[in-house]
Each structure stands twice: as C-alpha cells, then as structure tokens.
Amino acid sequence: MASPSRRLQTKPVITCFKSVLLIYTFIFWITGVILLAVGIWGKVSLENYFSLLNEKATNVPFVLIGTGTVIILLGTFGCFATCRASAWMLKLYAMFLTLIFLVELVAAIVGFVFRHEIKNSFKNNYEKALKQYNSTGDYRSHAVDKIQSTLHCCGVTDYRDWTDTNYYSEKGFPKSCCKREDCTPQRDPDKVNNEGCFIKVMTIIESEMGVVAGISFGVACFQLIGIFLAYCLSRAITNNQYEIV
C-alpha cells in the first residue's frame, strides 16, 4: 500500500489528469455532435448522388449518424467515469475508445482501397438510370432530374447520351436538361446544357467526401489521446489507492 505522503504527492497529478481528461471528453463529445450533423447533412445534401451508386452506399450517412450518436453516449460515460475517478470505468472507457478507433481505421482502409469502384459504380448506374428514365418519377429518375437541374448538365459524358434512350425517342430531352427554366427542349440540342454530369458529380463527391474523410480521420486520431489519458488516470488511481474526498 502506498504511504500517506506518496498519496499526497500523487493527488495533484491525478487531479491534473482528471482535469485534462474532462476537457478532452468534452471536446470528444463535441466531435460526436459534429459527426451526427455531418451524417444528417450527407443524408440531405448527397442523397441524390448516393442513390445512383448502390444500395450499400445509401447507408453511409446512417453510419455517420450512428457513429456520432455512439460517440455522444460514450463521451457522456467518459465524463461520468472521470468525475467518479473509477478505475474500472476508466479502463472500460479506454477499451471502448480503442474499439471505435479500430473500427474507424478498418473502414478508412476499406474506403481507400475501393475508392475507384465508386466512380465506375456511379457511371454505370447513371447510364442505366438514363436508359430506364421516365417522367413519372421513380427514385432514380428523380435523382437524374435533380442532378441535371442543380448542376446544369445533361447526360453522362454529354447531352448526346440521351439520344440512345427510349425516353428521347418518344419525347426528346427531359426538362431537367434545359438551359433555362420552363423550356420545352424536345429534340433541340441548342436548348439543353451540353456538358455531361459525370465529371461534375465526381468533382463534388470527391470534395464533399474529402470533408467527411478529413473529419473522420481527425476524430480517429483524437481518440488516441483519450485512450492514453484514460489509461494513465486509471493506472494512477489503481497504483496509489486514490480515494475521492
């Protein structure tokens, strides 16, 4: 058992660790709120792009929302464990942080390895959506219209991609290809946007997903600090039989 004098000497050290860990846990909790907000934003802003990738890609925003929620709950638990100065709760907190870090690391590696498949998947699904396009509004057709009207583009590589579709042979270009609002393009290429959507969409996805990846990477690295602090505080409490006064 540690001597009283040693316990008095280590008490300021443990108090310092607790203060730093509380600050860290609060910041960690804020990152959970940020991830939750990014997931909601991705669901609202990027839903049209995700719907033209594949069914699994549409789950990405929900993964971020779920991760953000878990971090918020874990941050609350970490704050409680630190205030209680409970060694076993701090060890559990460090273990959860390590587990989440490993999951995020694996997800980042998988995303990096398969990043080129995203482009191919989007292009193939966009071409398929054009061939199956109808004005009645299934979710793929709605996504095509939303992308074309928002980005002022037409077709995959250019407007001529529409000429091979059944919709074009029956009605001409869709209204979402129009350069101006409320036009009736029919088969007049002068009334539609000439640029294709593929390059524009890829530019947006790469820039927007870069923001998501950067935030996720920052959160993952930040967790290493929490793991170190929680482990050190737990060891200090265990080794010196620190008690809350």
10-residue mean pLDDT series, the chain (245 residues) = 50 80 88 84 71 62 83 90 85 89 76 70 83 74 84 87 86 86 77 87 74 70 85 81 46
- Give the total number of structural domains in the chain: 1
User: Alpha-carbon distance 76 to 95, whole Å?
Assistant: 15
pTM: 0.64
Nearest partner of 71 among 111, 23, 106, 36, judged by Cα: 36
Position 136 scores a pLDDT of: 59
Nearest partner of 94 among 235, 218, 242, 219, judged by Cα: 235
Position 245 scores a pLDDT of: 44
Q: Are the C-beta atoms of 36 and 65 separated by less than 8 Å?
A: yes
Q: Which domain holds residue 136?
A: 2-241
Q: Are the C-beta atoms of 47 and 39 separated by less than 8 Å?
A: no
Position 84 scores a pLDDT of: 84
> Torsions phi, psi of 192, nearest 5?
-115, 160
Nearest partner of 19 among 73, 76, 85, judged by Cα: 85
User: Alpha-carbon distance 83 to 233, whole Å?
Assistant: 12
Position 50 scores a pLDDT of: 67
181: exposed, middle or buried (Cβ count in 10 Å: 0-12, 13-18, 19+): exposed
Q: Are the C-beta atoms of 148 and 177 separated by less than 8 Å?
A: yes
Per-residue pLDDT tens for 2-38?
A: 455 444 456 777 788 888 888 988 988 888 888 888 8
User: Alpha-carbon distance 187 to 163, whole Å?
Assistant: 9
Q: Are the C-beta atoms of 100 and 222 separated by less than 8 Å?
A: no
Q: What's the N-to-C CA distance of the chain in angstroms?
A: 18
